[in-house]
Amino acid sequence: MKGVAMTVLASSLLVLSLATFEVLAQDEEQTEEAPAAPAGPPTTTGGREAQAPVGQAGMIFELHNRARAVVPPRLPIGSSRRIRFAEAAGRFVPGRVAPGFHRIGPVLSFDGAINASSSPVVISIRQPADPARPNLRVVLAMEQAAMCTEGAEPLPGGGRLCSGWELFDAHYDAAERRLVAELRAPGGYRLVFGSVPRE
């Protein structure tokens, strides 16, 4: 009788061990098949312009001249807002940006007037060498609506408002060979990198 009990106990232990092994194997399989984390915002490209509906995943805009605008994910812009990033057409007068302003690269336009205070929109252009000099401040100039003063340029589509410019510090990314600036409140008008004399 004791031998039968021992046999039954051994059989039960074997069944339990096999069941445990099967559960562990299934867990390992499920772990291996877990979906990979998203690599980042999707990319849309274009020649002189790129536009796409932008939602909570964000978007990377790339132009043929290697200008780039990165709209990060999870900004308060709804689920699908159409945004356009492009080379700007029309006349550009460097002297109207700031005294001594020297343009670097193309004049761009970005119509995403959005709240990026939680995570900035990153604008960059391809630049073979660092343009920074001890006597120069490298900046991204962002056009915005301003009150009209004598000699001010009317803002296209701005009604009775005129064009004003705000300067943001830019930096050179040597690894990427790009001139980069961050915007936490893009104005929805023209953008241009450049340098101004340090005060």
Same domain (yes/no): 84, 173: yes
Mind listing the pLDDT tens digit of every residue in the chain (199 residues)?
Answer: 445 444 444 454 444 444 444 544 454 544 455 445 456 899 999 999 999 999 999 999 999 999 999 999 999 987 788 999 999 988 899 999 999 999 999 999 999 999 999 999 999 999 999 999 999 999 999 999 888 887 778 877 667 888 899 999 999 999 999 999 999 999 889 999 999 999 8
pLDDT of residue 153: 81
Residue 105: strand, helix, or coil:
strand
Return the CATH number at 63: 2.60.220
Positive or negative, the CA dihedral 170, 171, 173, 178 is positive
What pTM was estimated for this model as a whole? 0.78
For residue 99, give both structure tokens: 């005294």
* Contacts of residue 165, Cβ cutoff 8 Å, sequence gap at least 6: 96, 97, 98, 141, 142, 143, 144
State whether 11 and 89 are in the same domain: no
Residues 101 and 171 in one domain: yes
Same domain for 114 and 49: yes
Q: How many CB atoms lie within 10 A of CB 98?
A: 18
Within this chain, do residues 54 and 80 fall inside the same structural domain, yes or no? yes
The residue type of 184 is R
User: What domain range includes position 101?
Assistant: 43-197
Total domain count, the chain = 2
Regarding whether 58 and 16 lie in a shared domain, the answer is: no
If asked whether residues 72 and 163 sit together in one domain, one would say: yes
If asked whether residues 73 and 159 sit together in one domain, one would say: yes
Does 28 share its domain with 48?
no
Q: Do 172 and 92 fall within a single domain? A: yes
Per-residue pLDDT tens over the stretch 78-129: 778 899 999 998 889 999 999 999 999 999 999 999 999 999 999 999 999 9
